[in-house]
Amino acid sequence: MSALPDTATGFDYVGGELALFENAVRWKSYWRRQIAGYIAGDVLEVGAGMGANTEMLTGLPHRSWTCVDPDAALAAQIISKTTALVTVVTGTIQETSGKFDTILYIDVLEHIEDDAAEVVRAAARLRPGGHLIVLSPAHQNLYTPFDQAIGHYRRYSLQSLKAAAAKAMELRAEKLIYLDSVGLIASAANRVLLRQSMPTRQQILAWDRLMIPLSRLLDPCLGWQVGKSVLGIWKHA
C-alpha cells in the first residue's frame, strides 16, 4: 500500500516491494500465528495489494473475506493469488459496505497520512466484540530510503501506535507487542551502513531463513519489547 487517497480514481501504488516480500514465508508464518486467534466471522483486509497475504490468511476460520485496495491493477491480481472465495473492492475502506468482525491492516497503516482518522473509520465498521489488527514497521529512528521509496509516512513505536488509536474511543487494546528482535539488528545495520532504497532478494531470504527462527525463540524471552515490527490488536467494546 501507498498513501491512501479518499477515492480510488487513477491510483497507482508507488512501492515495488510486494512481490519481493512474498519470499518471506517464515516471517509471514510468524505473525500469522500471533493474530490467528483474533480472526473470525466477516473479515476486511484493507490494503490487500496483490493478495500476497490473502491466501495464507484465508486458511483461518472465517465466514466471509473482503479485500480492498485503491490500486486497480493490484486488486485485479488478488483472485489469481488465492483459491478462497473473496470479494475484491477497488478503493479504500470508505468504498466498502456493512460491518465486519475483523479488520486487518497488514503493513498498511504507515502508508496512510492521517492514520488516526483511518483508525476511527475502521472502528466505525467493526461489530461489537470485533477486532482491529495492525502490523507495521517499528522505530522512527530506523526510517530509511527504503521506507521513503515505498511510501511510508512513518514507523511506529508501541506508544505512537497506541496514540494512533486513541481517538477511537470504542476500541480497547488487547495486544501491543514488538516482533522480530533479531531482525532489528539488520534494520539498524541498513540504516547506518547500507541505506538501501530496496533490499535484494538474497537479503530477504537470509533474514527470513536465518533471523526469523531466532526471533521466534528470543522475542518471548525479551517480553515482546524488542523488534523491528509492531503489532497492535484492539477489541471493539
* 147-179 CB burial, b ≥16 within 10 A, e <16: beebbbbbbbbbebbeebbeebeebeeebbbbb
Could you tell me the residue ranges of all domains in the chain? 20-236
Task: Write down the pTM of the prediction.
Answer: 0.90
Residue 15 in this model has a pLDDT that exceeds 70: no
| Mean pLDDT (whole number) for 181-194 | 76
For residue 13, pLDDT over 70 is answered with: no
Kindly list the strands in the beta sheet with 100-106, ordered across the sheet, starting from the edge strand earlier in the chain: 87-90, 64-69, 42-46, 100-106, 126-137, 229-236, 171-179
Which class in CATH covers the domain with range 20-236?
alpha beta
Which pLDDT score, from 0 to 100, does residue 20 have? 72
> Rounded to whole angstroms, how far apart are CA atoms 89 and 226?
36
Mean pLDDT of 174-181: 98
Residues of the chain above pLDDT 90, percent? 71
Give the pLDDT score at 201: 85
Q: What is the mean pLDDT of residues 144-158?
A: 90
Whether 75 has a pLDDT exceeding 70, the answer reads yes
Instruction: Record the cell numbers describing residue 77, joined without a space.
Output: 491480481
Q: How do residues 27-47 score in pLDDT, each as one tens digit?
A: 999 999 999 999 999 999 999
pLDDT score, position 191: 66
Helix (H, G, I), strand (E, B) or coil at 51: coil
**pLDDT at residue 7 is higher than 50:** no
% pLDDT > 70, the chain = 89
Helix (H, G, I), strand (E, B) or coil at 130: strand
Mean predicted confidence (pLDDT) in 65-75? 94
